[in-house]
Amino acid sequence: MKFNTKVIHGGQHHDPSTGAVMPPVYQTSTFVQTSPGQPLNPDYEYSRAANPTRSALENALASIENGTRGLAFSSGLAATDCVLRSFKAGDEIIAMDDLYGGTYRMFTRIYKDSGIKFHFVDMNDLEKFKSLINENTKMVWVETPTNPLMKLADIQEIAKITKENNILFAVDNTFATPYLQKPLDLGADIVMHSATKYLGGHSDVIAGALIVKDEALGAQLHFQQFATGATLGPMDSFLVLRGIKTLHLRVQRHCENGAKVVEFLNNHPKVKTVYYPGLPSHPYHEIAKKQMSGFGGMVSFTFVSGKKEDAIDFLEKVKVFTLAESLGGVESLANHPALMTHASIPEDKRKEIGITDDLVRLSVGIEDADDLIEDLKQALA
């Protein structure tokens, strides 16, 4: 199947008992057993371990990322936490220097006393990256494109290094989605999504996902999920699965609108720098062309004035764009990373990686592009 067919049919089956085209919401905590230890259906005993609605979503996740197993979680951070539970004191993890604030917070505050050592590095400096690898290095974690500076990492090149050193390689594919980028095909071992974002696509659910290529790794991660309990409920699973079925159409429009918004911002006298991998001026534009089939709907920009007040003034004036955290929904959202999504990152660290106080991040939705540009124009006026 090609991707546009996979999002609708990949890994999916009509309900065997009724013929329902969409999987029913199996709103049940437990399943009948015919004898002690003998469930009526061997796949289902208790919904924390497996639920038919969640299974339908997990099969779809595996299909669209070209993996062998998908796992659905109660949030993207729950999915990330499940991966980290694979490691012990003394292990080391190398992570990209520009990360979602919640990921950085988890790495540096929740796991700070566990004995796991984290290194943060610009993953485009491959020599610096390789210099950090030692016998204790167990995983590399990257986002590409990153949140909020749209930095990219060359998945294929990093995968070559991790395979040579027998290190797990995980990619947060939230911004790109499997419509634009498939990390497992490029050599990654684990793909993570905040399914709250583009996969769900309608700002009505909190969910996370992991997809893997190796079946043994999938079984290990499923055990960790089962044992710790961060599973996605059946109704939320249904909502994400519904969202996936229109993913290709939505992301295509996100890309089209994103390009138009970038063109407007890039020529506006009050805008200093636009961060968007589709721009030829973007430092990692060539990597984007190499590993992505489109450039997405996420855009960040700064002001010529460099003033935090100008960013706040702009965000208070937008009308079609909504001032809110999150991204990837059908509606356009605007965000101030330093005060909102990345406030948990210390100020000196934010400045070091380039998250300035005048930085604005836009999640360009699927509205009419002319209305979005008119809104930006009046808010910047």
Residues 350-373 have pLDDT tens digits of 988 889 999 999 999 999 999 999
Measure the CA–CA gap between 133 and 123, rounded to whole angstroms: 13
What pLDDT sits at residue 42?
94
Q: Name the nearest CA neighbour of 294 among 208, 185, 196, 175.
A: 175
Q: In angstroms, rounded to a whole number, what is the distance separating the alpha carbons of residues 73 and 81? A: 10
Structure confidence at residue 16 (pLDDT): 86
- For residues 65 and 191, the answer to whether their CB atoms sit within 8 Å is yes
Instruction: Give tens-digit pLDDT for 174-225.
Output: 999 999 999 999 999 999 999 999 999 999 999 999 999 999 999 999 999 9
Query: Lowest-confidence range among 72-81, 320-329, 334-343?
Result: 334-343
Pick the catalytic residue: 197, 213, 250, 350? 197
- Average pLDDT for residues 120-142, to the nearest whole number? 97
* Average confidence (pLDDT) over 292-300: 98
User: Would you place residue 283 in the very low, low, confident or very high pLDDT band (cuts 50, 70, 90)?
Assistant: very high
Largest CA distance in the chain: 74
**pLDDT band (50, 70, 90) for residue 345:** confident
Q: Which candidate in 48, 253, 272, 308 is catalytic? A: 48
What is the pTM for the complete model shown? 0.96
The per-residue pLDDT for 182 is 98
Q: Which of 100, 104, 179, 198 is catalytic?
A: 100
Question: Could you please report the per-residue DSSP string of 64-125?
Answer: HTT-SEEEEESSHHHHHHHHHTT--TT-EEEEESS--HHHHHIIIIISTTTT-EEEEE-TT-
Q: Among this protein's residues, is 172 annotated catalytic?
A: yes
Where do we find the tokens 């407007």? 264
pLDDT at 338 over 90: yes
Q: What is the mean pLDDT of residues 331-340?
A: 96
pLDDT-based confidence at residue 63 (cuts at 50, 70, 90): very high
Is 154 noted as a catalytic residue in this protein?
no
Verify whether residue 15 is a known catalytic residue. Answer: no
Residue in 11, 143, 136, 117 with CA at minimum distance from that of residue 65: 11
Three-state DSSP class for 229?
Answer: coil
Query: Does 204 qualify as catalytic in the annotation?
Result: no
